[in-house]
Amino acid sequence: MTRTYRNYVDGEWRDSTTGETFDTTNPAAPGEVVATYPAAGDEDAEAAIRAADEAADEWAATPGPERGAILRRAAANLADRKEELTALLTAEEGKTHAEAGGEVQRAIDIFYYFAEQARDLAGERKAASGPDTNLYTREEPIGVAALITPWNYPIAIPAWKLAPALATGTTAVMKPASVAPGPALALFEALDEAGLPDGVANVVTASGSTGAYMTEHEAVDAVSFTGSTVVGEQVYETAVEHGKRAQCEMGGKNPTVVSDTADPAEAAEIVAAGAFGVTGQACTACSRAVVHEDVHDEFVDELVAAAEGIEIGPGDEYDMGPQVTESELEGTLDYIDVAANEGAELVAGGGQPAGDRFGDGYYVEPTVFTGVERDFRIAQEEVFGPVVAVIEVSDFDEAVDVANDSDYGLSASIVTDDHTEANRFVEDVEAGVAKVNDKTTGLELHVPFGGVKDSSTETWREQGATGMDFYTITQTVYDSF
């Protein structure tokens, strides 16, 4: 049975003032409607922002341990619904059951983590120059935050924006991507059941134009965005123009360097996991394998075998699910055509799988290209699908040069048995996240995350205790007596 959702504004579940709705469908079976949502407009966003603004002072005055207790109860509520939310995420976004379950668990863990962090947000005491002054800092909430989240991690990313905001005493208005908003709304259901005061957190399901309205609104003090670089740059420029604090995490063209000391089979396993996991629909997905000529051929054989060994199908049964929408699928297929026309050699995948289980689903095969030159579009532009370009190099210096030859700088990894080489890579690679003998995807929740270059506005990091900095302003106190 199709579920019907409402917006959550000022502690109430409300229909949109527009009276309009939209449906989400299952990417594995596009004729199957998953849920119906209100198509919110600016009037709905206005009500949500005003509610957050009116609740801001009281929430800021709420003791940190009390705010943390609400987050902890919300985490427990999410845990009780883990299987239900895993099924919803798979149905709306297309992830496999294992991937969706891992993401739901991450959201639960994030809420528990920031529940504890709320206890420790007390500033620091410093030594004063004189004996009669007590010198210390206080962390004050910034006010109202607008949170704009993407569809590819529809519960984890909303959680890692919303939980730290609430932990600091900041109120929030969220606009999740309309492709898969259900998991994000589950966070608000959990918070509502946990006793969150009215107006502290609000969510509206709407088009991108409503996100723009939120970004410009006079009562919004900070804007946090995750999504494409094109949109993120627009969001940042608008927010800054209107005097707001802003953070934007955007696209990636993430490399894995395969050293001549690497085991080709191990390297191929790492690259395949980073490139084909979550159907390649991650900003941190491995899109380029930069491989030393001495191990190139064996690595390619292993990577092709890994790609061809992936079973594709509906996410509740198979290794790799569909792409999220028809337009995302078409974009990936277009890039596959571009790569072939540029002269790259297709050695695995490259098409849509045939068979009864695929139906009209948005499936594409895990794809590997070799003979890729560093200036090919397939080596420079974000694909956002399960496609990896293999670039052959002659030595370590060339490998790092190729890895850095991108407008993006989000995540990068190296597979090597040489510790000195690993250290040099970490020092020289232009990326916000650097990994050794690991895939480019996968993040710990208690350390900072963010990119450089066109992957990020390079303003504030997300996740970990550092993730709360964006939502606070430091006050320095000189207490003389």
Q: What is the pLDDT of residues 83-126, one digit of tens each?
A: 999 999 999 999 999 999 999 999 999 999 999 999 988 889 99
Cα(81)–Cα(71) distance, integer angstroms: 15
pLDDT for the residue numbered 315: 87
pLDDT for the residue numbered 237: 97
Beta strands 125-126 and 133-141, pairing class? antiparallel
Q: What's the token pair of residue 438?
A: 């690991």
Largest CA distance in the chain: 80
pLDDT for the residue numbered 137: 96
pLDDT for the residue numbered 1: 64
| C-alpha distances out from residue 422 to 258, 328, 359, 392, 425, Å | 11, 35, 45, 19, 5
Cβ neighbours of 420 (radius 10 Å): 9
Positions in the chain whose pLDDT score sits under 70: 1
pLDDT for the residue numbered 123: 86
pLDDT for the residue numbered 317: 86
Q: What's the token pair of residue 172?
A: 């929030």
pLDDT for the residue numbered 449: 98
Q: Is 62 exposed, middle or buried (0-12, 13-18, 19+ CB in 10 A)?
A: middle
Q: Are 272 and 303 in contact (CB under 8 A)?
A: yes
Cα(206)–Cα(247) distance, integer angstroms: 21
Task: List phi, psi (to 5°) of 147.
Answer: -115, 120
Q: In this structure, which amino acid lies at residue 6?
A: R
Cα(462)–Cα(119) distance, integer angstroms: 19
Beta strands 254-258 and 367-370, pairing class? unpaired
| C-alpha distances out from residue 115 to 73, 119, 230, 260, 309, Å | 9, 7, 34, 45, 42
Cα(257)–Cα(292) distance, integer angstroms: 8
Q: Are 182 and 35 in contact (CB under 8 A)?
A: yes
Cα(409)–Cα(454) distance, integer angstroms: 7
Residue-range domains of the chain with CATH:
3-250+456-480 (3.40.605.10), 254-436 (3.40.309.10)
pLDDT for the residue numbered 208: 80
Q: 77: closest CA among 169, 174, 187?
A: 187
Give the predicted TM-score (pTM) of the model.
Answer: 0.96
Q: Report which secondary-structure segment, H or E, holds 104.
A: helix 97-117
Is 283 in the active site?
A: yes
Helix (H, G, I), strand (E, B) or coil at 363: coil
Q: In this structure, which amino acid lies at residue 325?
A: T
Q: One of 159, 283, 383, 468 is an active-site residue; which one? A: 283
